[in-house]
A and B are shown apart, each in its own frame.
Chain A
Amino acid sequence: MATEIVLISLLKILVVVLTILTCVVFLVYIERRVSAFVQNRVGPNRTGPYGLLQTVADVVKLLMKEDIVPRNAYKAIHDLAPIISIGVALSTFAVIPIGDTIELFGRQIKLIIADVNVGILYILAITSLGVYGITLAGWSSNNKYSLLGGLRSSAQLISYELSMGLSIVGVLMVSGTLQLDKIVQHQTTYLFGWLPAWNMFLQPIGFITFVTAAFAETNRLPFDLPEAEPELVGGYHTEYTGLKFGLFFLAEYANMITASAVITTLFLGGWHLPYVEYVGLSSFILSLVYVGTFCVKVAAVMMFFIIIRWTLPRFRYDQLMNLGWKLMLPITIINVLLTGIVLLILH
């Protein structure tokens, strides 16, 4: 029995990691196509059908490049930093439910790698570690632009982590649990008998602040100051080449996928497709539909990420800090307070 559990878990991990890695490849392609569309260009269209193999070619190029470590860099840390980044990006997925249970080979399997009862805290804890990858990369390169990029990112991530954590508090209060699959379960009900009880509707302020914070945490525009090209050359990964640069690149997109998955799970009803339970599908098909729903929702959020990136300008550094501390933080605290009051009145 024990070995079976271990095997199933390993299998789940393998599937999820491979899926994410494959997704990244397409995500990069989509990002480039969307940016081209926004800027009225064509974008990659030569490699393979519609340029679909462009990213694959890029990956091959990165793999074959020489790994250069600056002479005065701190080698061990320089190697460690991208590993931390990618490790953190992938391990968040462990607690995200990608579907309800599914029946395979006569066994009920929960579509979640680790169903821990402190799921949300786990996500927050792991996210908070992501900053090390960037900071250490910046520091160990022994380059002032890299260091500045690293410092900027620590300051940014610390500032926005607070709002991120606090904007989830409202969700916790509404659903009364830290377990992510229970939070999704809670969102499968209906308000007034017709509106899906997604936390997006129950916690609109929390939703907006969380998405904003998620943008900041994934270093996406308009919050991509750690790697602001005009000012910092390339930011924390200026001194990285080849595979290690590729890992940072991968981590950045993996982070985006993870963030989208977290947003979907916490605010957009997770794997639940409203009204589908009334259709009367067999349980196996239903499970598949749920997994599909999850993927579609995540993809939609990612699309949103990409479009925002190519339509908004970058913040100035002081604007970023002001937004984080003077606007986001008070708003999230007020949201917690309001949620508490409303819950007190309702009960």
Chain B
Amino acid sequence: MNVETIFFYLLGAVFVGSALMMVTRRNPVIAALYLILNFFCLAGIYLTLHAQFIAVIQILVYAGAIMVLFVFVIMLLNLSDERRLSEAISFKKIVAGGLSVALLLELLYIFVYRKTDLPTLNAERSIEIGTVESIGRHLFTKFLFPFEVTSILLLAAIVGAVVLAKRRLD
């Protein structure tokens, strides 16, 4: 077992743990903080895969920008702890729980008994792929088109945000 594998399992454990904590916390700010921890673990896992660029972007965009806004809004709304409503075990809940468990089992089955020959990469090639240069090159050649479409998507999102958020109803 090499260092990377150890790190992978370590980060993975924290990753799953923080995700569980995130959905079970009642205080929205605490839940958000666990989500941030979760993002950090994900960034760490990217690093073990030699994807430095994605790792840093993960922190910069998700932990540093999106979650800051999340926390900001939660604080601005001054949300208190979520109140527990009377929750009877209904038919819907049983079905939902059953489906989730089924999905989990299916996914586990896939990963345990896969006969799929997953495309593999050797270490040197994966180091090459993770660099900014290689991502940049791909982004502006093969994936130029989706890249440009993303900008239109963002423009549409901005216009939408203006519609939904503008205070003056004039």
Contacts and interface: CB of A to CB of B under 8 A. Distances in A.
Q: Decide if A and B touch, CB cutoff 8 A.
A: yes
Contacts of A121: 53, 56-57, 60
A118 B57 CA distance: 10
Interface SS of chain B: helix, strand, loop or mixed?
A: helix
B53 A135 contact: no
Given A116-B52, A139-B29, A128 B132 contact: no
B131 interface: yes
Contacts of B63: 125, 128-129
Contacts of A155: 72
Contact of A117 (B30, B72, B76, B132): B132
A154 interface: yes
A135 B68 contact: yes
Contacts of B75: 135, 138-139, 147, 150-151, 154
B64 interface: yes
B53 A118 contact: yes
A158 interface: yes
B69 interface: yes
Nearest to A140: B29
Interface in A134-177: 135-136, 138-139, 147, 150-151, 154-155, 157-158, 161
B131 A117 contact: yes
Contacts of A157: 68
Contacts of B56: 118, 121-122, 125
A154 B132 contact: no
A310 interface: no
Contacts of B57: 121
A319 to B, nearest CB: 19
A63 interface: no
A245 interface: no
Interface residues of A, number: 26
Interface in B63-114: 63-65, 68-69, 71-72, 75-76
Nearest to B55: A118
B59 A125 contact: yes
Q: Which 7 A-B pairs have the closest CB atoms?
A: A128-B64, A125-B60, A121-B56, A125-B59, A154-B72, A118-B56, A118-B52
A178 interface: yes
Q: How many residues of B sit at the interface, in one of the four size bands? A: 20 to 34
A35 B123 CA distance: 56
Contact of B76 (A118, A124, A151): A151
Contacts of B64: 124-125, 127-129, 161
Interface SS of chain A: helix, strand, loop or mixed?
A: helix
B43 to A, nearest CB: 9
B29 A131 contact: no
Given A121-B57, A139-B29, A139-B75, A128 B52 contact: no
B59 A161 contact: no
A328 to B, nearest CB: 17
Contact of A154 (B36, B52, B71, B131): B71
Contact of A132 (B68, B69, B76): B68
Contacts of A136: 29, 33, 71
Contacts of B52: 116-118
B65 A128 contact: yes
B72 A135 contact: yes
Interface string A93-134: 000000000000000000000001110011011011101100
B60 A151 contact: no
A320 to B, nearest CB: 16
Nearest to A120: B56
B73 to A, nearest CB: 10
Contacts of B71: 132, 135-136, 139, 154
Interface in B114-147: 131-132
A161 B64 CA distance: 10
A124 B65 CA distance: 11
A118 B132 contact: yes
Contacts of A118: 52-53, 56, 132
A158 B69 contact: yes
